[in-house]
Chain A
Amino acid sequence: MHEIRKRHPKGWRFLFVPFKRSRIMSTEQENQVTQTLERLHQAASVSDVEAIRVEALGKQGWISQLMKTLGKMTAEERQTEAPRIQGIRARVADAIEDRKAALEAAELEARLATETLDLTLPAPDAPRGSVHPVSQMMDELAEIFADMGFSVATGPEIEDDWYNFTALNMPESHPARAMHDTFYFPDPAPKGGKMLLRTHTSPVQIRTMMRDGAPLRIIAPGRVYRSDSDATHTPMFHQVEGLVIDKGIHLGHLKWTLETFLKAFFETDDIVLRLRPSYFPFTEPSVEVDVGFAIVDGKRVLGGSGDAPGHAWMELLGSGMVNRRVIEFAGLDPDEWQGFAWGLGVDRLAMLKYGMDDLRAFFDGDARWLQHYGFSGLDQPTLSGGVGAKA
């Protein structure tokens, strides 16, 4: 209410009340009003205004005295005098209010002018956190494959020889075992051989098939271990296994799945894959998958056929149709179920997508590296926003 009155002094309405009886008194009073308004105009502080208010509207103030005269008037007199006197009161009261507000505003302004802050000074630090590129990559993979109906499976990293090798069609004397540079524990494994650190994520295939049966679509990301260490190999690294078991699944589905994944992952339709025959004991037929790339500004950029000018092929992953022995080992009927599997190096893929050049730095925990190559916690990969965070 107070605010409104300041902006729309209703006193103005009373200024146009017609004047029925003129008296010397009224002229004097008009002069007094003019004088008061003039003094208000001159008032330099809120306390000056207060003094004027007391003089006019205080208990002994002249307008208050004037108001009291109304009581002594006849009804007839009062009919003309009351609006006039109330008009005077309103004019003066509003003028006081306005002047006071103006002076208060000026005083506030003056005070604020002394409260200057140097806003070029630094604000309190808000520490910036980050998600490791490997984790980001795992979330991206989970998102893309969720869209194709794959769930995420896990299994132990300290594995039984049987799950890591035998059930994957690598019996004890198999030459392919030698290619795995396996870390062993002295502990005997329940199903024969020794306990070991899984050399690939493939044992999760066996465990999941045994537990969940078929049909099945899973990816199994996780840590894997091989006794190997140089600029491009670390004794611990990350893989993501893929497995589809269903009816009527063939190599064409494998090709489509990997193409679809890579297109979504690199956000480009220009992905050309080359399948090459290869050999893995747990798949038959086995294929190695290469992807075409070009070198742009010293970095590998995926796209185009590796046979195109200026392009080459890069080995990406090993895959194939799951060997029927593996399906049997996992307790399923290989005449009923077939499918494909692949194993992909996550760290290498991260390097390719996000441009790191030294694998060992992934596991060093250098805070500078983590902040540079890491991702904001809110950069959650989504299908609607694009699974990859742009640089």
Chain B
Amino acid sequence: MKFSLEWLKYFLDTDAAVEDVATTLNAIGIEVEGIDDPAEKLDGFRVAEVLTAKKHPDADKLQVLTIDAGQGEPLQVVCGAPNARAGMKGVLGLPGAEVPANGMKLKKSAIRGVESNGMMCSVRELELGDEHDGIIELPENAPVGTSFAEYHNASPVFDVAITPNRPDCMGVYGIARDLAAAGLGTFKPIEPGAIDAKGACPVEIRTDDPEGCPAFYGRVVKGVDNTVSSPDWMQKRLIATGQRPINAIVDITNYLMLAFGRPAHAYDLAKLSGPVVARRAKDGEKVEALNEKTYTLDSSMTVIADDNGVHDIAGIMGGEHSGVQPETTDVLLEIAYFNPEAIGVTGRKLGLASDARTRFERGVDPAFLDDGLAILTSLIQRVCGGEASEVVRAGSPPSEPKVVRFDPALTAKLGGVEVDEAEQKRVLESLDFTVDAAWNVTCPLRRHDIEGPADLVEEVVRIHGLDNVESVALPRVDGVARPTATPQQQIERKLRRAAAASGLNEAVTWSFLPTDQAEHFAALRQAQDEREALWVLDNPISEDMKAMRPSLIPGLLSAVKRNMDRGAESLRLFEIGRRYLRAKDGSSDEHPTLAVLLAGARTPRGWATGKAQMFDAFDAKGAAEALLAEAGAPVANLMVMGDAGPQFHPSQSGTLRLGPKNMLARFGALHPATLDAFDVDGPVVAVEIYLDAIPAKKGKQGFAKPHYAPPALQAVTRDFAFLVPADLPAGDLLRAVKGADKKNIVDARVFDVFAGQGVPEGKKSVAVEVTLQPGEKSFKDDELKAISDAVVAAAVKQGAELRG
């Protein structure tokens, strides 16, 4: 919200400088987002009159104006504003002036072949507001040729953010009251004078919806002259807030809202017929609002209507049909109290925002209906004349003030600052609270935000000054030596650092995916179930960010794609984050997951290594095993199985499982179709580790490790070469060999795999080095032979034969 210093001073007697006002505003919770001093920026702009306006010979939307800017000779200016017309007064920027909104320096130029000596400016161009529908229209009596800064009496303008709990500060008057309480000056309360009312209100006013509209006050003013402009002082204040003057009566209702936070509405009486009633809309009832859009209403919404239909979406926006025009002579003024929640619901349903809604849904002052109507009436009479009727009061606004039992000691207990009781009382009273001897605090009706004692502490502390709150150390907690991270968090931290230390770069990618990618990657074992279980947003920011990821691989694969498009030849990315699935009961089932993507070259071409070597499925397997080992998984017991999912190469991928059901990871080369879908050139290999599937260590964890003494005798190795069926997994052979003599065989590893010349068709040769660890005594020859025989026998069971 914007307001000028001049306006503030109308309600606050103060000599404070701009900076002091800003500092105090911030200190009491009215955040200053900007201060504008228009005088500096308005240098070179003058009040000017349009003498003539003709169509531009070569452009439909342009006009050629002659303008009197008080320089003797009229100036020719080309202008595109639809409202530019002969006889109007506006603001001319002369060559040399700089347009405040965009910094453009004006100069003499030719526009479509017609000379132009400056620019007629809009409100927005002069940074006086947001209005940009046309050029500024000044009142007829604006003195041509004077500097606009001087004419405008440009006063510094504050742009402040009002928190939603303080609708009473959505008017300058309320801000002045808060500033006065904080010691910045003396508040000047308004005393609305008595209105000389003549006769009863000729219109019947009712509220048939006391829930939505508890109070509807109104009166008629007849014989107004609305062809006059609103007064200068008012226009300047309105312009400073960014509000374009429209016509006197509309300006006055806007002024009431911006000064006192009190929206009101004026109807052209001639457009109304019969009683004017606050009621619920009928389902499907339509109204064209002042923004020229038509809204379809329902029976939850309160409207103001007459015999012919709806004239106002109550508290949100008036109707186009009965709006006040310059030629209007009789007006019905409405000042009502609407249910704040109902206004919010209606506004959201209609998707309609307005200054009035903002104030009504946060809560206007229920005690300001009569005063507001009196101020409105007297301003209209001052500007437009006319004869006012008596006030009709239908219903009544809430009038029971809230009383809070307050303990002033709470200010120190909650606010951490000692404020003596007299000062606390002074602060509360300066904000219109009344405090009795027993500290029963009666709240002004406008303070809807006060719910209990904590809110009063806030009032005292913010006015007294949060600067006075001193830091106090939190007491040290006993026993903080225990770890503050859970085992799951520690696994994640450890893996993150292990992965980074092994040469992988951690990425953080979006939790959302395009739906088709999410569906493709959801297809794991229980393909159908999981696809159905995807979380898909109702209101995504774009189609690319619509479904919650069921896998981390697609996000990383998109990152790979972007990197490759930038020329990267080798990528090692990982991410630790959640996959979003769905539990059986429909609740969110989020799984901590680590994914690794290796793309392109493992080793670039090199002087020592020759051609580039590309990543393959074994790189993925190695990464999976190394990271699982860091996470404390029993890697030696893991089985390599199939079923990595359709996103993977069907014969170059696998899963690592602890028992057939518990999958700890999947790994392998990605399916060429997957790469095609992402438009990525292969090879790309991937790992996905399911961190919550890694079994927790059993029992109570201590620091001590089981006893170990390195064996005294050296281990010995024996090599075996087997011919096995070509499709026998080497892992099966190894497991059999290791199991042949569990006491003595401590390791077995494959050191050669060969097929081709010398090996029969359908067979391969697998060479295994077996490590034997003697215990107390060295192996004797017959013992070694027995072990060898056992190894061979175990291998034979797998279909192997010992090579000669």
Q: Which residues of A contact B (CB under 8 A)?
A: 121-122, 124-132, 134-135, 139, 142, 145-152, 154, 156-159, 173, 175-176, 178-179, 183-187, 190, 194-195, 197, 217, 223, 225, 227-229, 235-236, 244, 248-257, 259-260, 274-279, 284-288, 321, 323-325, 338, 362-368, 370-371, 374-378, 380
Distance of A184 Cα from B361 Cα, bound (Å): 23
The contact of B608 among A124, A129, A197, by CB within 8 Å, is A124
Dominant SS among interface residues on chain A: mixed
A324→B539 contact, CB < 8 A: no
Tell me whether A173 and B606 are in contact (CB under 8 A): no
**Residue on A with the closest CB to B457?**
A285
Mostly helix, strand, loop or mixed at chain B's interface?
mixed
- Mark B residues whose CB is within 8 Å of A: 26-29, 31, 163-166, 340-341, 344-345, 348, 361-362, 412-417, 449, 451-452, 454-455, 457-458, 461-462, 466-467, 469-474, 476-477, 480, 484-486, 489, 493, 496-512, 535-541, 545, 548, 555-556, 558-560, 562-563, 566, 568, 570-573, 576-578, 580, 586-588, 590, 603-604, 606-609
Contact A122 B607 (CB under 8 A): yes
Q: Sorted from nearest, which 3 A-B pairs have the closest CB atoms?
A: A365-B559, A277-B29, A377-B500
For this complex, 9 residue pairs linking A to B, each with C-beta atoms less than 8 Å apart, are A124-B609, A185-B538, A250-B414, A252-B416, A256-B471, A287-B466, A365-B508, A366-B562, A380-B497
CB-CB nearest in chain A for B609: A124
Contact of A279 with B472 in the complex, beta carbons under 8 Å: no
Shortest A378–chain B CB gap in Å is: 6
In the complex, the answer to whether B573 meets A130 with C-beta atoms within 8 Å is no
B469 CB contacts on chain A under 8 angstroms = 251-252, 255, 275
- Asked if A323 and B507 sit within 8 Å, CB to CB, the answer is no
Q: Whole-angstrom distance between the alpha carbons of A176 and B502 in the complex?
A: 46
Q: Most chain-A Cβ atoms within 10 A of its Cβ — which of B28, B474, B476?
A: B474
Q: Establish whether residues A128 and B508, one from each chain, have CB atoms under 8 Å apart when the complex forms.
A: no
Chain A min CB distance to B161 (Å): 9
Instruction: Please give 11 more A-B residue pairs, beta carbons under 8 A apart, in addition to A129-B505, A158-B535.
Output: A130-B506, A132-B506, A156-B588, A157-B578, A175-B361, A179-B164, A223-B577, A229-B541, A285-B455, A321-B414, A367-B505
Please, how many angstroms separate the alpha-carbon atoms of A253 and B476 in the complex? Answer: 12
A367/B568 in contact, CB under 8 A: yes
B536 pairs with A186, CB closer than 8 A: yes
A184, B538: Cβ atoms closer than 8 Å: yes
Q: Cβ of B538 and Cβ of A151 under 8 Å apart?
A: no
Interchain CB contact (< 8 A) of A152 among B485, B566, B572 = B485
B498: chain A residues within 8 A (beta carbon): 377
Q: Which residues of A contact B603 (CB under 8 A)?
A: 124-125
Please name all residues of chain B whose beta carbon is closer than 8 Å to the beta carbon of A325 when the two chains form the complex: 451
Give complex CA distance A246, B123 in Å.
54
* Cβ contact within 8 Å between A277 and B458: yes
Q: Please tell me if the beta carbons of B473 and A371 are within 8 angstroms of each other in the complex.
A: no
Contact of A149 among B477, B559, B570 (CB under 8 A): B477
**CA of A371 to CA of B571, assembled, Å:** 12
Chain A residues with CB under 8 A of B580: 157-158
Instruction: Report the bound CA distance from A127 to B586 in whole Å.
Output: 43
Instruction: Check B31–A278 contact: CB distance below 8 A.
Output: yes
A324 pairs with B452, CB closer than 8 A: yes
Please tell me if the beta carbons of B496 and A135 are within 8 angstroms of each other in the complex. Answer: yes
Q: Which residues of A contact B27 (CB under 8 A)?
A: 276-277
Q: Is the beta-carbon distance between A279 and B416 smaller than 8 angstroms? A: no
Minimum CB distance partner of B592 in chain A: A154
CB nearest to B30 among chain A residues: A277
Among B458, B499, B509, B566, max chain A CB count under 10 A is at B458
Bound-complex Cα distance A375 to B27 (A): 40
Chain B residues contacting A323 (CB-CB under 8 Å) are 454
Which residue from chain B places its CB closest to the CB of A142 in the assembled complex? B485
In the complex, what residues of B have CB within 8 A of residue A248's CB?
Answer: 413
A74 to B656, CA, bound (A): 86
Assembled-state Cα–Cα distance A128/B499 (Å): 10
How far does the Cβ of B365 sit from chain A's closest Cβ, in whole Å?
17
A131 touches B466 (CB 8 A): no
User: Given the complex of chains A and B, what is the CA–CA distance between A128 and B166 in angstroms?
Assistant: 54
Q: Which residues of B contact A276 (CB under 8 A)?
A: 26-27, 29, 31, 466
B42 vs chain A, min Cβ distance (A): 26
Which residue on B lies nearest to A324, using beta carbons?
B454
Say yes or no: B163 contacts A278, CB within 8 Å.
yes
Whether A126 touches B503, Cβ cut-off 8 Å, given contacts A288-B31, A365-B556, A366-B563, is yes
Cross-chain contact A148 with B510 (CB below 8 angstroms): no
Closest to A152 in B: B485
Contact B28 A377 (CB under 8 A): no
Distance (whole angstroms) from the CB of A158 to the closest CB of chain B: 4
In Å, the complex CA distance between A244 and B568 comes to 47
> Which residues of chain A are within 8 angstroms of B499 by Cβ–Cβ distance?
129, 377
Q: Given contacts A122-B607, A124-B606, A190-B587, is CB(A129)–CB(B502) below 8 Å? A: yes
Say whether A183 contacts B416, CB under 8 Å: no
Distance (whole angstroms) from the CB of B226 to the closest CB of chain A? 34
Contact across chains for B497 and A185 when beta carbons are under 8 A apart = no
The residue that A365 contacts in the complex, of B415, B562, B576, with Cβ under 8 A, is B562
Check B587 against A152 for contact (C-beta < 8 Å): no
Bound-state Cα–Cα, A366 to B580, Å: 24
Most buried by B among A249, A277, A284: A277
- Smallest CB separation, A236 vs chain B (Å): 6
CA distance A125 to B609 in the complex (A): 11
A272 CB to closest chain B CB (Å) equals 11
Whether A129 contacts B503 in the complex (CB less than 8 A), given A150-B484, A256-B472, A284-B458, comes out as yes
CB distance from A100 to the nearest CB of B (A): 33
Q: How far is the CA of A70 from the CA of B644 in the complex (A)?
A: 86
Q: Does A251 contact B415, Cβ atoms closer than 8 Å? A: yes
Q: Is A173's CB under 8 angstroms from B345's CB?
A: yes
CB-based contact A251/B164 at 8 Å? no
Q: A135 contacts which chain B residues (CB < 8 A)?
A: 496, 506, 508, 576
**A251 to chain B: which residues have CB within 8 Å?**
414-417, 461, 466, 469
Contact A148 B414 (CB under 8 A): no
- Chain B residues, Cβ within 8 Å of A288: 31
Shortest beta-carbon distance from B327 to chain A in Å: 38
Contacts of A134 in B (CB 8 A): 508
Q: How far is the CB of B551 from chain A (nearest CB, A)?
A: 15
Give chain B residues whose Cβ lies under 8 Å from the Cβ of A236.
510-512
Of all chain B residues, which has the CB nearest A147? B480
**How far apart are the CA atoms of A252 and B473 in the complex, in Å?**
8
Closest Cβ of chain B to A280, distance in Å, is 9
Give, as a whole number of angstroms, the nearest-CB distance from A275 to chain B. 4
CA distance A179 to B361 in the complex (A): 14
Question: A151-B484, A252-B417, A365-B507 are contacts. A257–B474 as well, Cβ < 8 Å?
Answer: yes
B486: which A residues are within 8 A, CB to CB? Answer: 152
- Does the CB pair B29–A279 fall under 8 Å? yes
Q: Is the CB of A195 within 8 A of B588?
A: yes
**Chain A residues, Cβ within 8 Å of B454:** 284-285, 321, 323-324
B484–A279 CB distance below 8 A: no
Bound Cα distance from A139 to B417, whole angstroms? 34
**Contact (Cβ within 8 A) A129 B500:** yes
Chain A residue at minimum C-beta to C-beta distance from B358: A175
Q: List residues of chain B with CB within 8 A of the CB of A377.
A: 496-502
